[in-house]
Amino acid sequence: MNQDSTRGKRRSFMRLASSGLLAIVATTAALNVAAQSQAETLRIGYQKSASLFVLQKAQGTLEKRLAPLNVSVKWVEFPAGPQLLEGLNVGSIDVGHVGEAPPIFAQAAGANFVYIGNDPAAPEAEAIVVPKGSAVKTVAELKGKKIALNKGSNVHYLLVRALEKAGLKYSDIQPVFLAPADARASFETGAVDAWAIWDPFLSAAEKQLGARQLADGRGGVANNYLYYLGERGFVERRPEVIKALFDDAIEQGRWLKANLKQAAAIIAPVQGLDVEVVESALRRYQFGVVPVSAAIAAEQQKIADVFFDLKLIPKTVRVADAVKPLPKVAAK
């Protein structure tokens, strides 16, 4: 073999080697890009009573907002707040929306979550009611009476505070711990004298049964905040997704308040309630999520302390330890 032929073969080999190396580099780069742009799913835990989430799910607005981030949405329904918190703790959902009480119990049990936002106070959306024919006219007259409530719920705190305001102790009444459906049945049959309950069940009792309010959370009795919670790892890893969720909640909350009848018509079939009942409940709730402030965390701490004093939770909790600071959220 002559020298020119040898040099030619070497050049051919180098060209092939270079081409192969470039192909490997290109393939690796393509795989990296694909991995970075791989679709992710935001798993949202919700309850049927969470009217704004129900509206967002029905309208598909969040899906559209998250599409540019290559994030899809999976809505996971839970029967109540405690089960939702368990789902958050075991990693089956990324975010959820609940009342004041479930996160306190979850934190006392060591659950892995963070508070990421809250809606404005809605003290009118929970109340203590009596049957329309009841002789009881004031909270003070509940002494010795049977009162139905969901144990450890936001209305548990409402009841304690309303009794205090009326000069009574919690031990002055007979609490009957029942879930909303069972509590309504007992309320209807007269098995209990009063019922501490939240919307939309409150509005349903008023509209359908003629229930009469003795007290709600106004006057500094109970704020009734609703909280957005997140799995700590997801919140830290995808803050832009949380911001998109908040932006959509703010925008849809404004639309809801400006179009109550239309919103109620969308939500009512999902909740299995009459449109007028849902509309009444929507009037009492306020929407406009913001990051949890130190002042709001302090309000939540008061509830946690009361629950510990009542021996509803096994140990004290420090709510501030579960609050995740986030940038200020503004609607688009």
pLDDT digit of tens for each residue in the chain (332 aa)? Answer: 555 555 555 555 445 445 554 444 444 434 333 334 467 999 999 998 899 999 999 999 999 999 999 999 999 999 888 889 999 999 999 999 999 998 999 999 999 899 999 999 999 999 999 999 999 999 999 999 999 998 888 899 999 999 999 999 999 999 999 989 999 999 999 999 999 999 999 999 999 999 999 999 999 999 999 999 999 999 999 999 999 999 999 999 999 999 999 999 999 999 999 999 999 999 999 999 999 999 999 999 999 999 999 898 999 999 999 998 764 444 44
Q: What are the domain boundaries of the chain? A: 43-122+225-322, 123-216
Shared fold status for 43-122+225-322 and 123-216: yes
Report the distance separating Cα 45 and Cα 86, nearest Å: 10
Does pTM surpass 0.75? yes
- Residue identified by tokens 């503004």 is 330
Please, what is the angle between helix 51-59 and helix 260-271, to 10°? 100
Q: Evaluate whether 267 touches 55 at the Cβ level (below 8 Å).
A: yes
Spell out the residues 6+ positions from residue 227 whose beta carbon is closer than 8 angstroms to its own: 97, 98, 99, 100, 103, 115, 117, 118, 119, 292, 300
Q: Evaluate whether 225 touches 289 at the Cβ level (below 8 Å).
A: no
Pair of tokens at residue 95: 């975010």
- Mapping DSSP to helix (H, G, I), strand (E, B) and coil, where does residue 215 land? strand
Q: Evaluate whether 58 touches 267 at the Cβ level (below 8 Å).
A: yes
Report the distance separating Cα 86 and Cα 242, nearest Å: 20
- Residue identified by tokens 């309504």 is 184
Report the distance separating Cα 302 and Cα 221, nearest Å: 12
Give the DSSP letter string of 74-128.
EEEE-SSHHHHHHHHHHTS-SEEEE-SHHHHHHHHTT---EEEEEPPP-GGGEEE
Report the distance separating Cα 42 and Cα 74, nearest Å: 6
Q: Which CATH topology does 43-122+225-322 take? A: D-Maltodextrin-Binding Protein; domain 2 (3.40.190)
Q: Evaluate whether 196 touches 128 at the Cβ level (below 8 Å).
A: yes
Return the closest-CA partner of residue 88 out of 215, 213, 231, 234.
Answer: 231
Look at residue 103 in the predicted model and tell me its pLDDT: 95
What type of residue is 36?
Answer: Q
Domain 123-216 top-level CATH class: alpha beta
Look at residue 2 in the predicted model and tell me its pLDDT: 55
Q: Is 201 exposed, middle or buried (0-12, 13-18, 19+ CB in 10 A)?
A: buried
Residue 146: other Cβ atoms inside 10 A: 16
Report the distance separating Cα 138 and Cα 103, nearest Å: 31
Q: Evaluate whether 126 touches 202 at the Cβ level (below 8 Å).
A: yes
Pair of tokens at residue 260: 């109550």
Spell out the residues 6+ positions from residue 38 whose beta carbon is closer than 8 angstroms to its own: 70
Partners of 195 in the beta sheet?
A: 129, 148
